């Protein structure tokens, strides 16, 4: 048996301080690597916006986010777009719906110069319209079938989506005459008050449920559009 010279055995024995230092260094290296991986896989949205360039390919329009979940009871409870009774002078009969696209409101005429007012999202530039129609159909949690015109503009959209909380049509829909336009709910209540749709009028789900229960079939709908100041 060959014995180590005096003192050599102590030199060969692992030094606890050296091991601890190497372990800490390895841990720091792993932490840095993990941080780089998280940054690559889960970038910070705020940081990504700084100096970011628009994507080369077309992305989903803000008006169309199929699959995004919103709750049935989503209601705008304060601010100008909250549901409220307001002074409204009109020659239209009680029960008529009057939509002012430039104001972002739909009014349910009550009579005595009063109306129940709801905040809405309206068609974006180039998709706004005016006219006189009637409610031709009502549906709860309607299915979504994007019309051919929308598919032509956004071919990546699904051709059909069953009704539900993730459906862009929201909780209820009032179909307007023989047009492709509707007054409906949304899975994006934060877009109320904006011009973001392809011509439809959207309300927060809690508000469209309230309006749906108040409006019968064949209700007269007046759509007015004026230039924004």
Radius of gyration, alpha carbons of the chain: 29
CA–CA distance, 54 with 7 (Å, rounded to integer): 68
Q: Is 184 a catalytic residue?
A: yes
Write down the catalytic residue from 41, 100, 194, 200.
200
What Å distances lie between residue 47 and 39, 42, 50, 52, 149, CA to CA?
Answer: 10, 11, 6, 9, 36
Segment 110-114 long-range contacts (CB within 8 Å, at least 24 positions apart): 110/85, 113/87, 113/88, 113/89, 114/85, 114/86, 114/87, 114/88
CA 81 – CA 119 distance, rounded (Å): 4
Q: Which of the following is catalytic: 100, 184, 194, 225? A: 184
Catalytic residues: 184, 200
């Amino acid at each position: 048996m060959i014995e180590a010279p005096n003192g050599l055995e102590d030199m060969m024995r692992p030094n606890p301080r050296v091991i601890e230092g190497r372990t800490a260094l390895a841990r720091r290296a792993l932490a840095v690597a993990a941080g780089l991986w998280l940054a690559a896989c889960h970038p910070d949205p705020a940081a990504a916006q700084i100096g970011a360039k628009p994507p080369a390919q077309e992305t989903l329009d803000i008006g169309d986010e199929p699959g995004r979940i919103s709750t049935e009871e989503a209601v705008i409870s304060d601010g100008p777009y909250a549901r409220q009774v307001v002074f409204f002078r009109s020659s239209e009969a009680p029960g008529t719906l009057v939509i002012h696209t430039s104001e972002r409101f739909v009014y349910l005429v009550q009579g005595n110069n009063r109306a129940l007012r709801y905040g809405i999202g309206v068609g974006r530039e180039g998709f706004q319209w005016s006219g006189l129609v009637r409610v031709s159909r009502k549906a709860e949690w309607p299915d979504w079938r994007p019309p051919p015109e929308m598919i032509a503009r956004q071919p990546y959209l699904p051709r059909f989506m069953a009704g539900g909380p993730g459906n862009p049509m929201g909780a209820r829909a009032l179909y307007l005459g023989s047009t492709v336009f509707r007054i409906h709910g949304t899975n994006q209540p934060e877009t109320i008050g904006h011009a973001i749709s392809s011509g439809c009028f959207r309300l927060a789900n809690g508000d469209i449920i309230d309006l749906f229960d108040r409006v019968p079939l064949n209700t007269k709908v007046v759509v007015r559009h004026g230039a924004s100041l």
